[in-house]
Amino acid sequence: STPEGQQAKQDKKSSNQDLTKNHSENTFGCTSKLTVVTDEALRQKWEACSANFSQAWKNLEQSWKRPPHSYLETQHSSALHLFTSVILQPVNRVIHPADRTPKQKHTFELFSLFSTLSEAIQIIKHNQVMCLNTIYRTETVLLHNVLDQLVRFDTFILGSDEPNVTGNVSCFEIYSCFGADVTQYSALNLKKQMLIPPYEVFMVTDIQNQTDSCKVIYKLRSNMNCVYDRDSNRMGGMFDAGS
């Protein structure tokens, strides 16, 4: 082809790439400001849970029965049981990373609670409906002025349709597409327990104040095209090339 024809093709390709990039950013919403929802009480429980994962895993291993899902391994069911068991417990003593023994540090690196729970959710999701509704309740007011903004939770959270699980001050009505129903693996006797990962990003679609059930209700809808990447500490599109 002629030089003019080659230049025209390059210009068209460049134009298409720009359009694709703009469409990607508009669709994913990953360039928008992200608010991290931090529940301090839950965060402390998470740290204690992570630090004690090795001992709890060892204790559960002795009485472990094969979980209902054939692809779940021992550490997956142990992680789910451990995390759900500490949700309702008060924080007595939090073991920080600097306080761990060498053995705890080694086991923590070997069986990261974060990665183990993430794997468990992804395995369980294969046999479940893609997106589910749940409610997460907490004892403190967590957010302000976040309507139409993107948010994520800083740790795994456990939602349930049953009231008074962890308080009724801030309530989140959540439509999650990355969480999984973990009821049959949980240590809690609650119906429809849903574990939601901290890498899932939500859009706040509505905020209601001073309701009969909660002081404030946030309605969250999963942004399926945008996730938080823990390793790079940034958001990215699910289908971004090169991400």
C-alpha–C-alpha distance, residues 240 and 231, integer Å:
16
Token pair belonging to 227: 């996730």
C-alpha–C-alpha distance, residues 218 and 207, integer Å:
5
Higher-confidence residue: 231 or 218?
218
Integer angstrom CA distances of residue 237 from 196, 200, 203: 19, 12, 15
Question: Residue 14: pLDDT band by 50, 70, 90 thresholds?
Answer: very low
Q: In the prediction, which pLDDT does 196 show?
A: 96
Q: Which amino acid is at 128?
A: Q
Token pair belonging to 209: 């104040």
The mean pLDDT of 67-89, rounded to a whole number, is 77
Q: In the prediction, which pLDDT does 93 show?
A: 43
- Determine which of 120-124, 146-150, 158-162, 233-237 has the lowest per-residue pLDDT on average: 233-237
In sequence order, which residues have a C-beta less than 8 Å from that of residue 52 and are 6 or more positions away?
82, 95
Q: In the prediction, which pLDDT does 19 show?
A: 31
C-alpha–C-alpha distance, residues 144 and 140, integer Å:
12
Burial (Cβ within 10 Å: 0-12, 13-18, ≥19) of residue 218: buried
Token pair belonging to 38: 């931090």
3-state helix, strand, coil in the chain (%, to 5): 35, 25, 40
Q: Which CATH superfamily is domain 34-237 in?
A: Toxin ADP-ribosyltransferase; Chain A, domain 1 (3.90.176.10)
Question: Residue 73: pLDDT band by 50, 70, 90 thresholds?
Answer: confident
Question: Residue 237: pLDDT band by 50, 70, 90 thresholds?
Answer: low
Q: Which helix (H) or strand (E) holds 74?
A: helix 74-86
Q: In the prediction, which pLDDT does 144 show?
A: 75
Answer whether 128's CB lies under 8 Å from 136's CB.
no
Q: What is the 3-state secondary structure (H, E, C) of 142-182?
A: CCCCCCCCEEEECCCEEECCCCCCCCCCEEEEEEECCCEEC
Residue 21 has pLDDT above 50, yes or no: no
Per-residue pLDDT reduced to its tens digit, 173-182: 999 999 999 9
By residue count, the chain amounts to 243
Q: In the prediction, which pLDDT does 107 show?
A: 46
Per-residue pLDDT reduced to its tens digit, 165-210: 556 788 999 999 999 999 988 888 888 999 999 999 999 999 999 8
Per-residue pLDDT reduced to its tens digit, 89-141: 655 544 444 444 554 454 444 347 888 899 999 999 888 888 999 999 888 77
Q: Give this prediction's pTM.
A: 0.73
C-alpha–C-alpha distance, residues 176 and 41, integer Å:
22
Per-residue pLDDT reduced to its tens digit, 22-48: 333 333 456 557 899 988 877 777 777
Which of these, 176, 180, 159, 135, lies nearest to 87 by C-alpha position? 159
Q: In the prediction, which pLDDT does 22 show?
A: 35
Which of these, 110, 120, 57, 104, lies nearest to 85 by C-alpha position? 57
Q: In the prediction, which pLDDT does 82 show?
A: 80
